[in-house]
């Protein structure tokens, strides 16, 4: 039976959540992994809660169902916490997670505070990074997805920072200006360095 | 946009839509007429970029509706061009009358259909209501499980449709969002190898062949109409052999062989699920889990649905004792989905044929999980134990 690592991204439309899932998939491919990355589409309007998923494995992936039991949850927009109903399919932040799941939250608050707000037990691994501030300082606008990827590379072994950076430089140089590329690479590095946990 | 070949397995990751657009770029058809619709929009968006960047020599015709898109495809194909397009859902529904004209005029148009539910209620997510509605339109239909398969199937569809023994349009179906918007690993084929494989389209007849003037799409009265249809019926039936030939040649060249269907752990199976497209992948995971528990379960995934390979499918299922056919579309006949009635009909009259039940699942993008497949296998074991098919048709995932 194939072993999977499943990742769930929570954010709001226009924060680069879908792109983040794609970037993670592309970077994991460079490390020889089999990957799936897919968004969950609903009503498409700016600011609406959005989810995206990654499924990573050393074996070919045959599952084509949604990710229900993620090992890793990234909360790109902290305003989602506490404002959403648990049964809202576009939002439930802790749904289906095991007690020892990894949570990475874009926030200025401490990991302890996030553990309390999310109602997580002692086994959960909770990390925080101020991805919004990093993105404002490196990219010049609110695009917290790439600092979150850097943080993910630091606190888990599913992807290396170099793979994320190399993929971004190689595959997006045509699409984005050098300034945007450099800004995002810096954002990934600062997310990697700035993530705190408990 | 393709990711460069950088990793050790020479693989890339692309969404289903990007892979189809990339395949279309590599095929470089003479004419492409299209009108975008979710979830196939990205195919034409990316193909338009290739066109704008001068990467293809295609004549791109941007039209005002899908009816016009297919009409332009018909005109171009009648003029002897290699023609491709893409659509989904309501778009395919709007092409309706022209689908029959393309097939009746024996024009080998190739179309990617990104499967999506039909209104009402309005829904953008995956089911097979759109292409199942067109199952009797005289088009070849090939269903794809993965991004890799959607990519590979497009090249094969060109060869199959244009074969002079076939000359019939073909749809390559992939699941909306599940496949169209998911990035997955795949191996791309070099441009030159694609060109060698698909070759040049040589129309048997063409309106622009002024040395041999012909009339196409003429009116026929009772003296001729049924004879045209007889010939068309013979051609699409014969397409089955061409699908096998082309799939074998594709396998020899590129290492991924495709047949009429995929049988997964079916040889010694007592019970089996029959299902199309991406849901087959999830079902395989359930099959492996239950096999680990010593249960003899299997899967049959038809790849070619039109023409329906009834003999091959029936033969493959004859060793099985109970079968559930899962349809991602309801034919609203009160008697299950279209794949169910086709499979059951193919088995009818054979001695000791398996019991066959049908279940509708996953309409409008409702998730189909490993547990759903396991529940179906449980139900099939119940059929085995009681010897009764019980409820012949019904819904799951509700």
Q: What mean pLDDT do residues B37-62 have?
A: 98
Interface of B with A in 349-368 (CB under 8 A): 367-368
Neighbours of B105 (CB within 10 A): 18
- Report CB contact under 8 Å: A65, B367: yes
* Rounded Cα–Cα distance for residues A106 and A129 (Å): 5
Question: What's the pTM?
Answer: 0.95
Picking from A179, A105, A172, the residue whose alpha carbon sits closest to that of residue A139 is A179
Exposed (0-12), middle (13-18) or buried (19+): which is B259, by Cβ within 10 Å? middle
Distance in angstroms (rounded) separating the CA atoms of residues B241 and B239: 5
Instruction: Give the residue on A whose Cα is nearest the Cα of B147.
Output: A36
- Return the pLDDT at B6: 45
**What per-residue confidence (pLDDT) applies to A92?**
84
Residue A171 to chain B, least CA–CA distance (Å): 6
Q: What is the mean pLDDT of residues B73-98?
A: 98
Residues A64, B178: C-beta atoms closer than 8 Å: yes
SS3 content of chain B, % helix, strand, coil (to 5): 40, 15, 40
Q: Is the pLDDT assigned to residue B288 strictly greater than 60?
A: yes
Helices vs. strands in chain B: H and E counts, helices first: 13, 15
The answer, for B293 touching chain A at a CB cutoff of 8 Å, is: no
Nearest CA in chain A to B180: A38
Beta-bridge partners for B271: B297, B322
pLDDT of residue B2: 43
Min Cα distance A90 → chain B (Å) is: 14
Cβ-based neighbours of B52, under 8 Å, separated by 6 or more? none
Q: What is the pLDDT of residue A49?
A: 87
Q: CA B366 to CA A49: how far, in whole Å?
A: 19
Q: Given this model, what pLDDT does residue B9 score?
A: 60
- Residue positions counted in chain B: 398
By DSSP bridging, strand A4-12 and strand A34-40 are: unpaired
DSSP, res B178: T
> What are the structural domains of chain A?
5-197 (3.40.920.10)
Looking at residue B10, its pLDDT comes to: 79
Domains B11-254 and B262-395 share a fold: yes
Q: Quote the pLDDT of residue A90.
A: 38
- Give the CA count within 13 Å in the CB-facing half-sphere of B356: 27
Q: Which residue of A has its CA nearest to B38?
A: A41
Q: What sign has the CA pseudo-torsion B374, B375, B376, B381?
A: positive
Distance CA A134, CA A191 (A): 7
Superfamily (CATH) of domain B11-254: Thiamin diphosphate (ThDP)-binding fold, Pyr/PP domains (3.40.50.970)
What are the domain boundaries of chain B?
A: 11-254, 262-395
Q: How close A62 comes to chain B (CA, Å)? A: 5
**A 37-76: CB under 8 A from B:** 37-39, 41, 60-66, 68
User: Quick one: which of B299, B303, B306 has its CA closest to B277?
Assistant: B303
In this structure, what token pair is assigned to residue B47? 């193909």
pLDDT at A47: 84
Task: Give the Cα separation of A196 and A193 in Å (integer).
Answer: 9
Q: Do the chains contact at A22 and B183, CB–CB below 8 Å?
A: yes
- By Cβ distance, the residue of A32, A36, A62 closest to B9 is A32
Min distance B302 CA to chain A CA atoms (Å) = 17
> pLDDT digits over B168-204, tens only?
999 999 999 999 999 999 999 999 999 999 999 999 9
CB A147 within 8 A of CB A135: yes
Block residue for tokens 């073909």: B170
β-pairing, B170-175 vs A4-12, is unpaired
Answer whether A62 sits within 8 Å of B282, measured CB to CB.
yes
Q: What is the pLDDT of residues B234-285, one digit of tens each?
A: 999 999 999 999 999 999 999 999 999 999 999 999 999 999 999 999 999 9
Q: B262-395 adopts what CATH topology? A: Rossmann fold (3.40.50)
Token pair for residue B32? Answer: 């492409």
Residues 6+ apart with CB under 8 A from A174: B1
Nearest to A145 by CA among A109, A96, A97, A187: A187
Query: B262 forms bridges with which residues in the sheet?
Result: B301
For residues A28 and A57, give the distance between their C-alpha atoms in angstroms, rounded to a whole number: 9
Pick the residue from chain B with its C-alpha nearest to A38.
B182
Indicate the pLDDT class of residue B4, thresholds 50, 70 and 90.
Answer: very low
Q: What are phi and psi of B141, to 5 degrees?
A: -125, 125
Q: Does pLDDT of B48 surpass 90?
A: yes
Tell me the chain B residues in contact with residue A26 when contact means C-beta distances shorter than 8 Å: 3, 13, 183
pLDDT digits (tens, 9 = 90+) for B313-353: 999 999 999 999 999 999 999 999 999 999 999 999 999 99
Query: Is the N-terminal amide bond of B121 cis, ω within 30° of 0?
Result: yes
- CA distance linking residue B150 with residue A69, whole number of Å: 28
Pairs of residues, one from chain A and one from chain B, whose beta carbons lie less than 8 Å apart: 80
Partner residue facing A29 (CB), from B7, B278, B289: B7
Out of B1, B278, B288, the one facing A1 most closely (by C-beta) is: B288
**Which of B78, B94, B92, B180 lies closest to B135 in space, CA to CA?**
B92
> pLDDT tens string for chain A (198 positions)?
468 999 999 999 889 999 999 999 999 999 999 999 999 877 667 888 889 999 999 999 999 999 999 999 999 999 998 765 554 443 489 999 999 999 999 999 999 999 999 989 999 999 999 999 999 999 999 999 999 999 999 999 999 999 999 999 999 999 999 999 999 999 999 999 999 997
B397 in A contact zone (CB under 8 Å): no
- DSSP per position, B207-262: TT-TTS----S----TTTHHHHHHHHHHHHHHHHHHHHHHHHHHHHHHS----SEE
CA distances in angstroms from A189 to A12, A72, A131, B163, listed in the order given: 23, 20, 11, 55
């Amino acid at each position: 039976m194939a072993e999977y690592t499943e990742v769930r991204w929570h954010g709001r439309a226009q924060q680069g959540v879908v792109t983040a899932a794609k970037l993670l998939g592309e970077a994991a491919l460079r490390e020889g992994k089999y990957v799936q990355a897919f968004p969950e589409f609903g009503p498409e309007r700016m600011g609406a809660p959005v989810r995206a998923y990654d499924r990573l494995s050393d074996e070919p992936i045959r599952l084509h169902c949604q990710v229900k039991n993620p090992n890793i949850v990234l909360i790109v927009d902290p305003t989602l916490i506490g404002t959403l109903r648990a049964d809202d399919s576009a939002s439930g932040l802790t749904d289906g997670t095991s007690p020892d799941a990894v949570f990475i939250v874009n926030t200025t608050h401490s990991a302890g505070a996030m553990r309390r707000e999310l109602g997580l037990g002692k086994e959960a691994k909770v990390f925080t990074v101020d991805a919004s501030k990093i993105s404002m300082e490196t990219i010049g606008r609110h695009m917290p997805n790439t600092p979150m990827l850097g943080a993910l590379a630091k606190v888990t072994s599913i992807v290396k920072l170099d793979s994320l950076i190399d993929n971004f430089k190689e595959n997006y140089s045509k699409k984005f200006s050098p300034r945007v590329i450099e800004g995002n690479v810096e954002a990934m590095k600062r997310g990697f360095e700035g993530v705190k946990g408990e | 946009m393709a990711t460069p070949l950088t990793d050790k397995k020479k693989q890339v990751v692309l969404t289903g839509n990007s892979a189809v657009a990339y395949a279309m770029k590599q095929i470089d058809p003479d004419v492409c007429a299209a009108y975008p619709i979710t979830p196939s929009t990205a195919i034409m968006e990316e193909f338009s970029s290739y066109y704008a960047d001068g990467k293809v020599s295609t004549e791109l015709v941007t039209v005002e509706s899908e009816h016009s898109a297919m009409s332009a495809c018909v005109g171009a194909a009648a003029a002897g061009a290699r023609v491709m397009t893409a659509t989904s859902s309501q778009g395919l529904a709007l092409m309706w009358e022209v689908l029959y004209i393309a097939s009746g005029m024996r024009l080998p148009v190739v179309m990617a259909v990104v499967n999506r539910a039909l209104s009402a209620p309005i829904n953008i997510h995956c089911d097979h209501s759109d292409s199942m509605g067109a199952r009797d339109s005289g088009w070849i239909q090939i269903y794809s499980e993965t991004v890799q398969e959607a990519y590979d199937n497009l090249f094969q569809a060109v060869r199959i449709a244009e074969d002079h023994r076939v000359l019939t349009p073909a749809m390559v179906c992939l699941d909306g969002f599940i496949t169209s918007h998911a990035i997955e690993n795949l191996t791309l084929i070099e441009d030159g190898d694609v060109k060698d494989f698909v070759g040049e389209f040589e129309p048997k007849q063409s309106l622009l062949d002024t040395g041999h003037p012909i009339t196409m799409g003429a009116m026929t009265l009772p003296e001729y109409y049924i004879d045209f249809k007889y010939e068309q019926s013979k051609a699409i039936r014969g397409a089955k052999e061409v699908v096998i030939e082309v799939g074998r040649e594709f396998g020899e060249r590129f290492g991924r062989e495709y047949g009429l269907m995929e049988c997964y752990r079916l040889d010694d199976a007592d019970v089996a699920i029959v299902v199309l497209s991406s849901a087959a992948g999830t079902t395989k995971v359930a099959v492996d889990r239950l096999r680990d528990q010593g249960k003899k379960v299997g899967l049959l995934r038809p790849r070619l649905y039109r023409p329906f390979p009834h003999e091959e499918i029936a033969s493959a299922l004859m060793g099985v004792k109970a079968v559930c056919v899962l349809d991602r579309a309801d034919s609203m006949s009160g008697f299950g989905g279209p794949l169910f009635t086709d499979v059951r009909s193919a088995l009818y009259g054979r001695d000791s044929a398996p019991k066959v039940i049908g279940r509708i699942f996953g309409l409008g993008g409702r998730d189909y999980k490993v547990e759903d497949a396991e529940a179906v296998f449980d139900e099939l074991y119940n059929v085995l134990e009681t010897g009764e098919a019980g409820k012949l048709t019904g819904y799951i995932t509700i």
